[in-house]
Structure 1
Amino acid sequence: MVAGYRAIHSNHMIPLRPDPAKPMPAHVSADLSVEHFSGILDKLYEAALDPAGWPDCLEAVRAELRGNYASLIVRPGGADDRGLIVSAGVGRDNINLGNPQIALSPFTGMPPDRLVTIADVISEADWRASPYYRDWCAPLGVFHVLGADIGTRDGGVYGFRVTRPEDAPPFSAADVALGRLLLPHIKRALNLHLSVHQDRKVNSLYSHAMAQLMIGVVVLDQTGQVIECNPAATAILDMEDGLRVVGKQLEATYANDNRKLQRLVRDALTHPQAAAMGLTEAMSVSRPSGQLSWGVVVQSVSPDQWTEGKQRPSVAVFVRDTEGKSQPPVRLAQQLFQLTPAETALAIQLANGLSLEEAAEALNIRRNTARAHLRSIFSKTGVRRQTELVRIFLNSVAWLGAVEK
């Protein structure tokens, strides 16, 4: 989850003027300037967008609270999982990524979002006598602990800890107050990360699903320039067989096709509400190779007032490869239709448009063997004609099985 350290520079940090209606709590150290607090928040929200920023964020917290470590327990670990702890320490002397003894911590099971010190949860004598302190904390020079368990909207719990060695003073009321000011921001940053990460994963799944179905998606901005392509679209454009990108503009090879394509794009840009109204336009684009034309659909993307005037997705161009041949995972096809490997291989060839004789030749089997396989496939799938077999096979989920995770 964390790929290492990444320096975060903010050359344009603007000091925030304190809100007189919300003064800093009186017991927060006067040494904490608005600029310092703003700097910590800057790193915190950078980390929300890129997990590689968490060590720098924790380092800023550690330095402000004069600790020897500041850590975020992402996963506590268990019998089959070492867990994950992201930390910053003095001289970058970081805690191991996992802590197999985390379940023994006196902080385990705390009410969420409540910041406490070690003195709030256990007596000093019991703390010194505990196996967790003796075997884990003492060797690391950890004695004083300030911590909270933070609950996120998905039901997860993250541990936030700042520590000091025994020869340092315990965390003061001012330190605790600062921690409590930071806690809601850490919670928001974690929730923001979860939302962004989930959106990225879902978008990635959609993109790869479309690629498996041989549907290319080209996204244009408000000036008609290409800003994004999914893998299927990239493969289609790389062929330069009827469609291409020239100077960031999507073009068709033949003049008549290109005039129509540009008109459809202009119309979609001129009428940004068309997508909400379900108004889309379609055309076919001829290919110099002589293969079947591309099927193209142009659709407007509803505008977002927050990005008005900025580079934003404005038009989606969908391209279908009518001759493209996909290869679904044989195992999934077998499971779906209860076919043998040989029967599955034949069914895939037929679904890709080959005749029975062509499929037999491609698979290097006799025609009589292919016919026997086909009869068995008919029996298992309940169809009576080859065209029906192709239809149910093409409409099955087997073709999505190779979607990247």
Structure 2
Amino acid sequence: MKSDENFADSLYEAALVPELWTQTCEKLAAEAQADCASIFTVDTYGNHRFVTTPNVAEAYAKFAASPHAQNNTRALRALERSPFVFARDIDVLTEKEFREDQLAPLFLHPNGIEWEAGCVFQEPSGHMIAIILMHAKGRGHFTDEQLAKLNLLKPDLARAAYMASQLGFREARSMADALSMVGVPAAVIGDTGRSIAMNNQMEALSPRIRTGAGDKIVLEAPGASALLDDAIRRYKAQAVPTVQSLPIASRDGEPALILHLLPVRRAARDIFSRSMAILAVTTVGEVGPPDMRVLCGLFDLTPAEARVARGIALAQTPETVAANLGISIQTARSHLKRIMQKTGTTRQAELVLLLSGLSVPGDGGKNP
């Protein structure tokens, strides 16, 4: 009993300190007399996160990146045929399914693993959580006594997982509120790409920035909205977005806005985190030509593109910009095309409205 109590303490500690999940998997394997233990979550988009004992970490990484992760017969059958109860793979798969299953020959056997037992359940948010134990080749399958032991641990495992998940939502609210305290409108975007927390300053920017159906963030400017959707897609795919600062031009006396999409960096072991990125908003200056450093930093413009953008912001034609910079009109137009792509604008007049006033506060636009 003392061992069970100590393990339960470790579970609830990991729910509060995500860095402890790997250590907790090692303790779970020891409690179950297994060779390895893993916990993985799958969101409603099929994205996998996992934490595991180090001896199978590489195998899990390959599995999560493979097409087989989107069609995991073992997890699906466990959810259908043995929900919330630990069971062996041979208990939830038919003989045909077990024979045709690709996980064993591709990921388990090459890593010295032969038998698997696990528990799969869904939390209220729709995320699937799986707790998996494995035996090495030559050890035989999990016994009924070992399964009974695991099912005694199951309530604490489930509560700790649910607690960690709920803390992820609370943390998102805290991040938005913290930015509110320094006057920054902000929304926290969850791992589904939808808003899970938005502070009062951000809500006050509606309808220029608002949430639509299913808490999807909607921008009034179509070009910026398309850039935001693309950036979120890239974040979900764990890739770096092409554009991470998104412009909304001034309108009806309202100042121009720049939306900054910032990734939430955390240990991969924090598999229950729900926050993927923060969308923060700053207001641009009202007068003066754009600052070169601001242009390059916000929109990832090259120095050559930034020089062209600065000329356009001063209402110069592409021909004038080319002459002033000593480049061909074709080069100036090529730069202009890329600038408009990076800023989400479709017309030169819209680009001028956006760029005017992007100067460093206190600089007066004098920085060359």
User: Could you state the TM-score of these two structures normalised by the residue count of structure 1?
Assistant: 0.43
Q: Which has the higher contact order (CA 8 A, sep 6+)?
A: 2
Larger radius of gyration: 1
**Bigger helix share:** 2
User: Could you state the TM-score of these two structures normalised by the residue count of structure 2?
Assistant: 0.47
